[in-house]
Amino acid sequence: MHIADRISRLGTETAFAVAARAAAHKAAGHEVFPFHLGDMNIPTPANVMEAACRAMRAGKTGYCPSPGIPELRDALALDVNAARGTSYAMENVAIQPGGKPVIGKFIMACMNPGEEVLYPNPGYPIYESQIEYHGGVAVPYRYLRDTSGFHIDLDHLQSLITPRTRAIIINDLQNPLGAQCSDAERNRLAELAMRHDLAVLLDEAYFDIRYGGKSVSLASIPGMAERSVILYTFSKKFAMTGWRLGAAIGPREIIDVVAKLNVNDESCSNHFVQHGALEGLTGDQSGPLAILSTLKERRDAAVELLNSMSGVDCPSPEATFYLFPEVTELMSRKGFTDDYASFAEDILVKTGVSLCTRLHFGRPLHGEERRFIRLAYSGIDVDGIRKGLLALK
Ligand code: PLP
């Protein structure tokens, strides 16, 4: 059968391949400590589940408007405005079947084939995949590490902007690094986007997964809301990864395009799930608070153990549920200087710890000599974290 050429440019989220390998190891009778995927083993808050069930029984099982039910669009605009200081209305919100679909739709709306889009590396692999699939040139920008954690190398980023650059993807509160921008860094990014007239995808998947301080959106900087699309998701804050619900939030001219893509692709997002999400936004907030405190306890346990291991150095991010420890010394001690794949397989077989390495988040950029792994603690409880990481020692 003939397969279209563009498919050869489509990448994937390789963490799912690690999940399949871990599942096979478990099926063969071994204990597995799942640190590989940003999925969650925490239940969705009960009030959200009940509201979705009620909606289902009340017949909310047919199609609904393509950009989402008006009550949810309205509530989400208000919620986002309260947290970010923006002034969106429901017309600025297009509900999506997850946050991930916003990436491809943003690319389709803002980039022509042959144009360049800047994206983070290490970063969420779907950015590069979608840019290349749609015929664009994916241009990775890098991060620097200091004692406080990872920061975008803004001079490097600036040097990558050309007359063909159309857009930039920014994942402040970053997967896999746990990095977050300072105010000064955010201002400089905004200044660059405005000076070069770039469309901006603000991937804010982890905006609400924060253990201290307050998240700040680039959309709150004057001039930025007009050129940005926020990727919003219900997946993490409400432990709803499998429900598949998110939103694109931005200027009407882009959101109307996104909604038109919805009509073509999905017709609409799951109807009764939207009623569950509405309860999540407007109802009792003890669920998301409990989720955060569970995650914080896991982070603290994992960071403490990792930093007690010789050859491992792990900053403690204030946001996301990922850790990105340096393991250069550990890897060479175990005889795997730069062979990430064999290192991860060896760890899985010998300890049951399933993890992603730096390689799962883009090709290493020129000059990278230090080695890193990514540990997600959203799908493993404190006991598992302790047992797994002690085995790793
Ligand atoms: N963006 C980032 C950075 C992510 O890590 C994820 C999921 O892990 C997503 C977007 C998409 O999440 P979802 O499609 O579940 O909303």
Tell me, yes or no, whether 209 lies in a domain.
yes
User: Among 380, 286, 292, 320, which residue's Cα sits nearest to residue 41?
Assistant: 380
14 C-alpha vs ligand 1 centroid, how far in Å? 13
108 and 174 part of one domain: yes
> Greatest CA span in the chain, whole angstroms?
61
Q: Is the CB of 100 under 6 A from ligand 1?
A: yes
**Do 170 and 64 form a contact (C-beta atoms < 8 A)?**
no
61 C-alpha vs ligand 1 centroid, how far in Å? 26
Q: Is the CB of 233 under 6 A from ligand 1?
A: yes
User: 387 lies in which domain range?
Assistant: 5-43+287-392
CATH of the domain at 145: 3.40.640.10
Domain closes at, from 282, 297, 316: 282
Tell me, yes or no, whether 320 lies in a domain.
yes
Chain-centroid distance of CA 224 in Å reads: 21
Domain closes at, from 223, 253, 282: 282
How many domains does the chain contain in total? Answer: 2
Predicted TM-score (pTM) of the model is 0.96
Tell me, yes or no, whether 328 lies in a domain.
yes
Where are the strands (E) in 298-382, listed by range? 322-323, 353-354, 356-357, 373-376
Indicate which residue's Cα is closest to atom 9 of ligand 1.
100
Domain closes at, from 282, 305, 340: 282
Question: How far is residue 301's CA from residue 306's CA, in Å, rounded to a whole number?
Answer: 9
CATH of the domain at 365: 3.90.1150.10
Chain-centroid distance of CA 146 in Å reads: 22
Could you report how far apart the first and last alpha carbons of the chain are, in Å? 49
168 C-alpha vs ligand 1 centroid, how far in Å? 17
205 C-alpha vs ligand 1 centroid, how far in Å? 6
Tens-binned pLDDT, residue by residue, of the chain (393 aa): 999 999 999 988 888 889 999 999 999 999 999 999 889 999 999 999 999 999 999 999 999 999 999 999 999 999 999 999 999 999 999 999 999 999 999 999 999 999 999 999 999 999 999 999 999 999 999 999 887 789 999 999 999 999 999 999 999 999 999 999 999 999 999 999 999 999 999 999 999 999 999 999 999 999 999 999 999 999 999 999 999 999 999 999 999 999 999 999 999 999 999 999 999 999 999 999 999 999 999 999 999 999 999 889 999 999 999 999 999 999 998 888 889 999 999 999 999 999 999 999 998 887 788 999 999 999 999 999 999 999 987
ipTM beyond cut 0.90: yes
Where are the strands (E) in 25-161, listed by range? 33-34, 93-96, 116-120, 137-141, 143-146, 149-152
Q: Is the CB of 123 under 6 A from ligand 1?
A: no
